[in-house]
């Protein structure tokens, strides 16, 4: 299947704690001034000098919230965030200051990208950082103003992290092709009941939703009849439900006024041990894209080994 590399079918927003795989392409972000963005669009990226933390290269991050802080001395109205696609090539992890390859990962050892994981004490904000030696490995996809609406499109929150109240996050919903079309036309209709009671059930992990609707002993559903909806969710007030028979398991909205219930991963409530979200009011959910499951699997082969339920 020939798909434009900028297509939403590329599930290439790797969460910030995950090691980037060699020779993969990922979406990352670069913060700069409005003038800097115009220069980059016209002339391409120019590598930073060799005296930076990881030596010479183009500094990017998978965390848009980190990128939007730069340049530090420029007001948000004059900042721009570049959404870029990066072919990382060979990746070297630099996970401590004074690492033996901290500035020689490319020049001496031939790696293409250096990656600093989050929370290793190398970056002041403790977020991850990437340095790409060759600017030709980076393609600008979009230039964005620093607005909450733009930033929230890329808040792919890690599945083990509790969603914060009143934030907007990207999630996924798996369903049939026919129902997906109806949702696009008429909006979501809440389930009347379920593990968390009434609401719209979603997940931040596309591997979980890609198998829905589930097969049954009497019916096998082909992938050609499945769709994944990529959605943006304003979670409102969030209640964590982390055990079966929680006193608010089905009353978190009706009696306590929460807008979203969140089941963390690995708490024994979901067979796949993945996280799950239930949003009471469908008006909090906006469809961003309708994705055909066969196309998703063709473009992202790792999705051919999905989780159980």
Q: Summarize pLDDT for 81-127 with one digit per residue, the tens.
A: 999 999 999 999 999 999 999 999 999 999 999 999 888 999 888 88
Summary mean pLDDT of the chain: 89
What pLDDT shows up at residue 40?
97
Mean pLDDT value across residues 262-291? 93
pTM: 0.65
Q: What angle do CA 14, 20, 22 make, to 5 degrees?
A: 135
Where helices occur in the chain by DSSP H, the ranges are 34-43, 64-67, 148-152, 177-186, 206-209, 293-299
What pLDDT shows up at residue 205?
85
| Region of poorest pLDDT, from 8-17, 86-95, 170-179, 265-274 | 8-17
Over residues 142-178, the pLDDT tens digits come to 999 999 877 776 765 555 567 778 788 889 999 999 9
CATH class for the region spanning 159-304:
alpha beta
What pLDDT shows up at residue 111?
97
Mean pLDDT value across residues 53-67? 93
CATH 3.90.228.10 domain locations along the chain: 25-150, 159-304
Residue with more model confidence, 193 or 155: 193
Over residues 236-251, the pLDDT tens digits come to 999 999 999 999 999 9
What pLDDT shows up at residue 15?
56
Q: Is the bond into 278 cis (omega within 30 degrees of 0)?
A: no
What pLDDT shows up at residue 130?
95
Percent of the chain with pLDDT over 70: 90
Judged against a pLDDT cut of 60, whether residue 4 lies above it is answered with no
What architecture does CATH give domain 25-150?
Alpha-Beta Complex (3.90)
């Amino acid at each position: 299947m020939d798909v434009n590399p900028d297509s939403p079918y590329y599930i290439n927003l790797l969460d910030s704690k995950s090691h980037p795989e060699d020779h993969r392409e990922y979406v990352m972000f670069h913060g700069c001034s409005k003038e800097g963005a115009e220069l980059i669009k016209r002339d391409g990226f120019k590598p930073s000098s060799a005296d930076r933390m990881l030596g010479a290269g183009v500094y990017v991050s998978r965390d848009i919230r980190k990128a939007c802080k730069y340049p530090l001395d420029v007001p948000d109205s004059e900042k721009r965030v570049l959404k870029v696609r990066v072919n990382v090539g060979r990746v070297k992890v630099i996970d401590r200051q004074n690492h033996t390859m901290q500035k020689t990962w490319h020049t001496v050892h031939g790696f293409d990208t250096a990656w600093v994981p989050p929370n290793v004490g190398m970056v002041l904000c403790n977020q991850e950082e990437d340095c790409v030696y060759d600017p030709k490995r980076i393609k600008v996809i979009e230039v964005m103003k620093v607005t909450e609406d733009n930033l929230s499109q890329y808040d792919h929150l890690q599945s083990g992290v509790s969603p914060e109240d009143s934030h907007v996050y990207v999630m996924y919903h798996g369903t049939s092709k026919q129902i997906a079309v109806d949702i696009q036309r008429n909006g979501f209709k809440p389930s009347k009941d379920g593990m968390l009671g009434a609401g719209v059930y979603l997940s931040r992990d596309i591997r979980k939703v890609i198998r829905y609707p589930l097969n049954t002993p009497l019916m096998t559903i082909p992938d050609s009849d499945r769709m994944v909806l990529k959605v943006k969710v304003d979670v409102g007030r969030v209640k964590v439900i982390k055990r079966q028979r929680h006193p608010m398991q089905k009353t978190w909205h009706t009696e306590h006024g929460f807008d979203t219930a969140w089941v963390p991963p690995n708490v024994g409530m979901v067979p796949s041990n993945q996280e799950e979200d239930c949003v009471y009011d469908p008006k909090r959910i906006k469809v961003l894209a309708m994705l055909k499951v066969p196309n998703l699997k063709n473009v992202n082969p790792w999705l051919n080994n999905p989780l159980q339920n």
